Copies of this chain bind each other. A is one copy, B any other.
Amino acid sequence: MDKRERIVSAAIEVFSEQGIEKTKISDIVKRAGIAQGTFYLYFPSKLSLMPAIAEVMVEKTLEIVQAKVSKSAPFPVRLDQLVDAIFEVSEEYHEMQALIYSGLASTEHLKKWETVYAPFYEWISESLEQAIEDEVIRDSVDPARTAKLVIGLVESAAEQIYLYDANKEDEAAVQKREVKQFLRFALSIHD
């Protein structure tokens, strides 16, 4: 109902469908079912939408990840669940990820992006710290830095599947298995 929200989700839809470049403000307002002028009551430009969109995306990502990864499970299981979760998010939102990426890149909103993604990195980082403390992974792991590596690895692996591959279901399963193994070795998980 809220106009601002309507604009943001309309933008997510049309950006995903036709790319940022090709999307006109008029496409967004048409989808949102509001008047052309109303857009400018909430956002000064097309690109100024990106932080708002990014926020929504990270929110959704965190929701899915936190729902999928069980707090009480042992770390190796949690890691597998994380991979599954990120693949799931990628499947649903892979276009958006590229969009946010390039959308933010072409603005000066990069700082914001880091901020927006921060809770996700934080959450992984804490898991890694705990795992080091519990001696389930090698103690040479730098939690903060590795959190980003893990997310980068898994996201790029997922994108490779959902952007390019034809037989996505099967491919995704194999790719997930490979990533999980890769990670297990990378972190030196001792079961």
Please report A residues at the B interface, Cβ cutoff 8 Å: 18-22, 47, 95, 98-99, 101-103, 105-107, 110-111, 113-114, 138, 140, 142, 145-146, 148-149, 152-153, 155-157, 159-160, 163-164, 174-175, 178-179, 181-183, 185-188
Contact = CB atoms under 8 A, between A and B. Distances in A.
Given A21-B47, A99-B105, A152-B153, 11 more contacts: A19-B105, A21-B106, A102-B103, A111-B164, A145-B174, A146-B178, A149-B156, A149-B157, A156-B156, A185-B187, A186-B186
The oligomer's copy count stands at 4
Nearest to A113: B164
B18 A106 contact: yes
Determine chain A's interface SS by DSSP, over half rule. Answer: helix
Contacts of A146: 178, 182
Contact of A182 (B110, B163, B164, B186): B186
Closest 6 A-B residue pairs measured CB to CB? A19-B106, A102-B102, A152-B156, A186-B186, A98-B105, A153-B153
A4 B182 CA distance: 42
Contacts of A105: 19, 95, 98-99, 102, 163
